[in-house]
Amino acid sequence: MKPANNKMKDDEYTMFGPNGWGGAPALERREFLKLAGGGLIVIFAVGESLSPQEGARGGYPDDPNAYLKVGPDGRVTCFTGKIEMGQGIHTSLAMMLAEELDVRLEAVDMVMGDTAFCPWDAGTFGSRSTKYFGPPMRQAAAEARGILVRLAAARLGAAEEALATKDGAVYVAKSPGKRATYAELIGGKKIEVRLDVKPPIKHHSKHAVSGKPTLRTDARAKVTGEGKFAGDIRLPGMLYAAILRPPAHGARLKSAATSAAERVPGARVVRDGDLVAVLHDKPDIAAEALGLVEAEFEPSASKLDNATIFAHLKQAAPQGEVVVESGDLDEGAKLAARTVERSYFAHYVAHAPSEPHTAVAQVEGGRATVWASTQSPFRAQQEVARTLGLPEADVRVITPFVGCGFGGKNQGGQIVEAARLAKLAARPVQVAWTRKEEFFNDTFRPAAVYDVRSGLDAAGKIVFWDYKNYHAGSRSSQPVYDIPHKRVLSFGGGWGGGGAGAVRAHPFGTGAWRGPGSNTNIFATECHIDIMAEAAGLDPLSFRLRNLADERMKRVVRAAAERFGRTFAKAPSGHGYGVAITDYLGTYVATMAEAEVDRDKGTVRVRRVVCAQDTGEVINPEGARMQIEGCITMGLGYALAEEIRFKDGRVLDENFDTYETPRFSWLPKIEAVLVDNPDLAPQGCGEPAITTMGAVVANAVYDAIGARLFILPMTPARILEGLKGLR
Amino acid sequence: MDKTIRFKLNGKEVAVETSPERKLLWVLRADLGHTGTKYSCGEGYCGACTVLVDGRPTLSCQFPLAKAEGKSVLTIEGLARRGRLHPLQQAFIDHGAVQCGYCSPGMILRAYALLLRKPNPTEAEIADALETNLCRCGCYNRIVAAVRAASQAMKMKVAGHEAR
């Protein structure tokens, strides 16, 4: 098995600001022991004992105690700084642990995103949980199992080599009646054991839990209403906050007359600089009272809207950074028989999580506890500590179930608001953004521009590739094709804005959006590849295979084609077939779609999507399929409808009446094909498939009607405009 | 002006003394501690807050408490009986029709209302009945399969539930 690369990609640091992470351990080992209570197994493996390195910001600890605990009842608790927002790691991480420790999946309890108990984690994003957290947790479980075998050898009077483990017990392989359960071996005692060598993790061929399709372990709590989200937390004396918002980004508060709101029985108005909030023990009455606040704001200085944004973005990003450069573009141009030059555009898109940003904060006796809907509890801990002037160790962030994230909950404005208000009010405070606040405060997927120039030789091979993107970010901006002369430049930094020489580009916050950078880079790249295929006189599938050298990618493309079972012809064929492929951070994806276009209304109906994915070793095939299906469904939204409309700093979309997201009637038949590759370490699965959706739909639409759409989303108005251009 | 409003919540009589104009969603969540019913859009566009009032699917974020007077309200907390899941809940688990789970209570209750009215719906009828409910995670196809499976299971009366 190849080791996973544990280093963070540079572009993922950008969202943490210039200082990045740093600082002291979140929790001392002794305090951890105290909090975690009895029934703890203390095992010191290779390396130093009693080191507080676990919990240190910047990496995962070596100490198995940081990841798991075996209770006196034999139940195993898994600790992870990752959170569950629908992606299914509540199940798949438990499967990895159960497999390596040899306990039943049902015996594993998950503690997720609680800064007091869990090993430090940068956050849950980038399809990184299984890929990066999985391996050290597996290793920890293997060590714990090794220690249990050592303890059992003494107890059972057998050599370690003669022992085996299963269902939370160690037994003598040749006489299974001689056994000791993990609970018996540990018995709530604290035991120090040293292992001289790290035990190896199991080969996938020996897996009994991992790799088997498994139902979600969190589903029961969610279908009964028992599962708690941040907004479901109730504390004695808790007040709900309704917060005054400006009408536009950049509009500063001039004055706020709050006396009418204060007269509402039970209402309290609190103010701290620009933060003005009404607190009440009923959330709806707080909101109603906020409506009585008469506020005046300076107008926003922003003069941008959807029509002017693209020209602005190009001039706001004067310098590009080289993502990749090989060969010589001039040499490539000399080899070209045909040159294709096009620009592509993508509008701002909202995360629109089902659960808006929510947090409950309690500040008492110099300590703060926050229940937050967040993807980054440790970052939230840091921000709350900074805001309240507390040491990080005195701030605990607890993450209940999170109702969607998609990158939007890397940002936790509501958490800081709740902490400030709880301190001001000296009462626990819940901040739950309204849907309008969610749209206004969101960090949108950035609008972006792409200029692509490329050349083909007479044999239909791509000879050069000159790619510039503005404000998209660099992820997936490198072509997966075998091209001798290429250069990729990224202007304006990443999805969070900034970058070399950039002036303030976006009129509001932007950030990571499921498959950040990639969705729109793949749209530009894979649409351009289709245009070249047509120029080469080839169908889009043959053209791709001709220009790919990577055998793993070719295998994935062929797997998709086999399931798709249709013959691609040179576009536009009238069939409405599309293809798009990508390598998303090591997960290979090939997506094929069949679409129909209503030429009178301009509407697109995607009938069928086949998505083949090689994501290395698959922990939970059922979970992987669910993620692929979810990606395809959500991807239809940014492909066909989702676009934040804005003007002069105002966000015009405030709810789902105008901001359309996919619903039942949109749904195509979706077929996910998991391409078997268990010898490759597990790769990410939560995002890869969505990144092909803009391109595959655009290519299917072109194949159907012969109109090429260069702007995302492909709304009916843009389709009709494209059709008009054909006449 | 506060008033005492009485209604049946999951089969039990409740009385709430509050403004009758307040929306049922907030009374359920804040006054009665029934947090299974979710806020998501607050304006009746997403279906997350769906409950049943006298058997009819109702957007609780739009429904004034006064109109609940004397009626019977069913929320997700009232669907399982004595710890036994309703076939719809079981089918949502078995079909992987849940991801983040935030829309699930509203989705399940709207499906429940459909099955009360139409015990054996086709897939198209299920999708049509649930069209107003949004799932950002994208479980739609699995939800349709789950509701269909539940309708078959209920026909066989495996769980011994009856329509309420």
Radius of gyration of chain A (CA): 27
Cα Rg of chain B (Å, integer): 15
Tell me the H-state helices in A399-457: 413-425, 435-441
Do residues A404 and A633 lie in contact, with contact meaning Cβ atoms separated by under 8 Å?
Answer: no
CA dist A267 and B103 (Å) reads 31
Q: Are A463 and A535 in contact (CB under 8 A)?
A: no
Chain A residues touching B41 at Cβ < 8 A:
435, 655-656
What are the pLDDT digits (tens) for B64-113? 999 999 999 999 999 999 889 999 999 999 999 999 999 999 999 999 99
Q: Cβ–Cβ of A435/B43 closer than 8 Å?
A: yes
Q: What is the mean pLDDT of residues A36-52?
A: 45
What domain count does chain A have? 3
pLDDT at A8: 33
Structure tokens at A620: 């939970």
pLDDT reading at A181 higher than 90: yes
Residue indicated by tokens 């959330």: A283
Nearest to A670 among B19, B85, B141 (CB): B141
In a domain? residue A217? yes
A466: phi then psi, degrees, rounded to nearest 5: -120, 105
Greatest distance between any 2 Cα atoms in chain B: 49
Per the DSSP assignment, residues forming a β-bridge with A295 are: A256
In this structure, of A2-16, A224-238, A279-293, the range with the lowest mean pLDDT score is: A2-16
Is the pLDDT assigned to residue A61 strictly greater than 90?
no
Q: Say how far apart CA A507 and CA A619 lie, in whole Å.
A: 41
* A469 and A613 both lie in a single domain: yes
Residues A376 and A465 both lie in one domain: no
pLDDT at position A29 is 45
Residues A459 and A579 occupy one common structural domain: yes
CA distances from A627 to A186, A611, A632, B63, B97 (A): 38, 11, 9, 35, 12
What pLDDT is attached to residue A198?
Answer: 83
Regarding whether A100 and A53 lie in a shared domain, the answer is: yes
**Cα gap A436→A651, rounded to integer Å:** 9
DSSP state of A230: G
User: Can you give the CATH number for the domain in which A194 is found?
Assistant: 3.30.365.10
pLDDT at B1: 84
Q: A651 and A536: one domain? A: yes
Give me the amino acid identity at A187.
G
- Specify the higher pLDDT residue, A10 or A698: A698
Residue A17, both tokens = 């600001």
Confidence grade of residue A73 (pLDDT, cut at 50, 70, 90): confident
Q: What is the pLDDT of residue A340?
A: 98
Tally Cβ neighbours within 10 Å of residue B43.
Answer: 16
Count CB neighbours of B161 within 10 A.
Answer: 17
Residue A712 corresponds to which tokens in the numbers above? Answer: 């995302």
What is residue A43's predicted lDDT score, i.e. its pLDDT?
56
Q: Which of A373, A378, A405 is nearest to A79 (CA)?
A: A378
Q: What residues contact residue A528 under an 8 Å CB cut-off, 6+ apart? A: A340, A342, A344, A452, A454
Check whether residue A268 and residue A215 sit in a common domain. no
Q: pLDDT by residue (tens digit) across A575-606?
A: 999 999 999 999 999 999 999 999 999 999 99
Among A223, A228, A240, A633, the strongest candidate for a mutation testing the B interface, having the largest count of B CBs within 10 A, is: A223
Of A94-98, A499-503, A523-527, A693-697, least confident by mean pLDDT is A499-503
CA distance A354 to A357: 9
- Put simply, the answer to whether B22 touches A283 (Cβ < 8 Å) is no
The arithmetic mean of pLDDT across residues A228-247, rounded, is: 98
Q: Would you call B30 and A86 a contact, using CB atoms and an 8 Å cutoff?
A: no
Q: Does residue A679 have a pLDDT over 90? A: yes
CA A524, A525, A526, A531 dihedral sign is positive
Residue at which a domain ends, from A222, A250, A271: A222
With a cut of 60, say whether residue A24 has pLDDT above it. Answer: no
Residue A266 predicted with pLDDT over 80: yes
B11 Cα to chain A: minimum distance (Å): 16
Q: Are residues A152 and A187 in contact, defined by beta-carbon separation less than 8 angstroms?
A: no
Q: Is residue A370 part of a domain?
A: yes
Binding-face residues of A in 660-679 toward B, CB within 8 A? 661-665, 667, 669-670
The lowest-confidence range among A134-143, A557-566, A662-671 is A134-143
Q: Is a pLDDT exceeding 70 seen at residue A40?
A: no
The residue in chain A having the minimum alpha-carbon distance to the alpha carbon of residue B139 is A630
Cβ distance A495 to A517 under 8 Å? yes
State the DSSP code for A401: B
A411 Cβ contact partners less than 8 Å away, ≥ 6 residues apart: A443, A509, A511
Q: Report pLDDT for A569.
A: 98
Residues 6+ apart with CB under 8 A from B103: A354, A403, B38, B40, B46, B47, B48, B133, B134, B135, B136, B137
Q: What is the pLDDT confidence band of residue A58, given thresholds at 50, 70 and 90?
A: low
What was the pLDDT predicted at A195? 78
Residues B39 and B26: their CA atoms lie apart, in Å, by: 9
A580 and A506 part of one domain: yes
- Least reliable range by pLDDT among A117-126, A428-437, A529-538: A117-126
3-state helix, strand, coil in chain B (%, to 5): 35, 20, 45
Query: Nearest CA to A386 among A359, A409, A412, A357?
Result: A412
Residue A319 is predicted with a pLDDT of 86
User: B96 contacts in A (CB within 8 Å)?
Assistant: 215-216, 219, 622, 625-626
The DSSP bridge pattern shows strands A76-80 and A108-112 to be parallel
Burial of A436 (0-12, 13-18, 19+ CB in 10 A): middle
Nearest by CB to B102, which of A218, A229, A633? A229
Query: In the numeric block, which tokens belong to residue A265?
Result: 């029985």
- Count how many pairs of residues, chain A against chain B, have C-beta atoms within 8 Å: 182
Instruction: Inform me whether the C-beta atom of residue A310 falls under 8 Å from chain B C-beta atoms.
Output: no
Q: Are residues A560 and A475 located together in one domain of the fold?
A: yes
Chain A residues touching residue B80 (CB < 8 angstroms)? 224
Helix (H, G, I), strand (E, B) or coil at A674: strand
Task: List all residues 6 or more positions away from A559 whose beta carbon is below 8 Å from its beta carbon.
Answer: A590, A612, A673, A675
Q: What are phi and psi of B12, to 5 degrees?
A: -110, 140
User: How confident is the model over A469-478, as pLDDT tens digits?
Assistant: 999 999 999 9
Does A3 have pLDDT greater than 50?
no
For the cut 60, the answer to whether the pLDDT of residue A632 exceeds it is yes
The SS3 assignment for A417 reads helix
Whether residues B38 and A229 touch (CB distance < 8 A) is answered with: yes
Residue A437 maps to a domain: no
Q: What is the mean pLDDT of chain B?
A: 95
As a whole number of angstroms, the distance between CA A28 and CA A40 comes to 16
User: Do the Cβ atoms of A401 and B100 come within 8 Å?
Assistant: yes
Q: Is the pLDDT confidence value at A454 over 80?
A: yes
**Same-domain status, A293 and A318:** no
Residue A191 pLDDT = 72
Looking at the structure, tell me whether residues A238 and A186 fall in a common domain: no
Q: Is residue A3 part of a domain?
A: no
Q: Which pLDDT value is given to residue A245?
A: 98
Which of A401, A663, A664 is opposite residue B101, by nearest beta carbon? A401
Of the candidates A94, A102, A135, the one whose C-alpha atom is nearest the C-alpha of residue A7 is A135
Whether A12 shows a pLDDT value over 90: the answer reads: no
**Those residues with Cβ within 8 angstroms of residue A124's Cβ, 6 or more apart along the chain or in another chain:** A82, A83, A85, A87, A89, A113, A375, A376, A405
pLDDT of A2 over the 50 cut: no
What single-letter DSSP state applies at residue B14? E
Angle at which helices A518-535 and A540-547 pack, to 10 degrees? 100
CB–CB contact B42 A229 (8 Å): no
The whole-number pLDDT of residue B12 equals 97
What's the pLDDT at A34?
47
Per-residue pLDDT averaged across A94-114, rounded? Answer: 97
Identify the structural domains of chain B with CATH numbers, from first to last: 3-78 (3.10.20.30), 87-155 (1.10.150.120)
How confident is residue B141, by pLDDT bands cut at 50, 70 and 90? very high
Domain match, A411 and A554 both = no
* Mean of pLDDT over chain A: 91
Per DSSP, the residues of B38-95 read --SSSSSSS-TTEEEETTEEEETTT-BGGGGTT-EEE-GGGTSBTTBPPHHHHHHHHT
Count of CB atoms situated within 10 Å of the CB of A676: 11
Angstrom distance (rounded) from CA A195 to CA B76 = 50
Centre a 10 Å sphere on the Cβ of residue B120 and count the other Cβ atoms it contains: 11
pLDDT for position A79: 95
The ipTM is: 0.96
Spatial separation of the C-alpha atoms in residues A489 and A510, rounded to whole Å: 20
Residue with tokens 């293809």, as numbered in its chain: A579
Give the per-residue pLDDT at B14: 98
Helix (H, G, I), strand (E, B) or coil at A112: strand
Q: Give the pTM.
A: 0.93
The Cα A527–Cα B85 span in angstroms is: 48
pLDDT tens digits along B34-58: 999 999 999 999 999 999 999 999 9
For residue A502, what pLDDT is reported? 55
Of B42, B75, B93, Cβ closest to residue A215: B93
pLDDT more than 90, % of chain A:
85
pLDDT tens string A318-353: 789 999 999 999 999 999 999 999 999 999 999 999
A269 DSSP β-pair partners: A278
Same domain, yes or no: A372 and A473: no
Residues of chain A above pLDDT 70, percent: 91
Collect all residues of chain B within an 8 Å Cβ-Cβ radius of residue A404: 100, 102, 136-137
Element (H, E) at B127: helix B123-129
Q: Is the dihedral of CA A117, A122, A125, A131 positive or negative?
A: negative
Q: Do A404 and B104 touch (CB under 8 A)?
A: no
Domain membership of residue A564 (yes or no) is yes
User: Is B102 close to A626, i.e. CB distance below 8 A?
Assistant: no
In chain B, what is the straight-line distance between the N-terminal and C-terminal CA atoms, in Å?
33
Confidence of residue A188 (pLDDT cuts 50, 70, 90): low
Count CA atoms within 13 Å of residue A716 on its CB side.
Answer: 8
Q: Is the pLDDT score of A545 beyond 50?
A: yes
List all residues 6 or more positions away from A162 whose beta carbon is below 8 Å from its beta carbon. Answer: A172, A173, A174
In chain B, which residue's Cα lies nearest the Cα of A352? B136
Give the residue from A398, A432, A466 where a domain finishes: A432
Tell me the pLDDT tens digit for each residue of A390-420.
999 999 999 999 999 999 999 999 999 999 9
- Domain closes at, from A190, A222, A254: A222
Contact A538, A457 (CB under 8 A): no
CA atoms lying within 13 Å on the CB side of residue A175: 5
User: Is A438 within the bounds of a domain?
Assistant: no
Task: With beta carbons under 8 A apart, name residues in chain B contacting A219.
Answer: 92-93, 96, 98, 101
Residue A318: the pLDDT is 78
Taking CB atoms and an 8 Å limit, are A216 and B104 in contact across chains? no
Dist. CA A354–CA B105, nearest whole Å: 12
Q: Is residue A1 part of a domain?
A: no
List the single best residue of A285, A290, A354, A433 to mutate versus B (max B Cβ within 10 A): A354
Which of the four pLDDT bands, split at 50, 70 and 90, describes residue A10?
very low
Q: What is the pLDDT of residue A57?
A: 60
Range of the domain at A546: 309-348+444-724
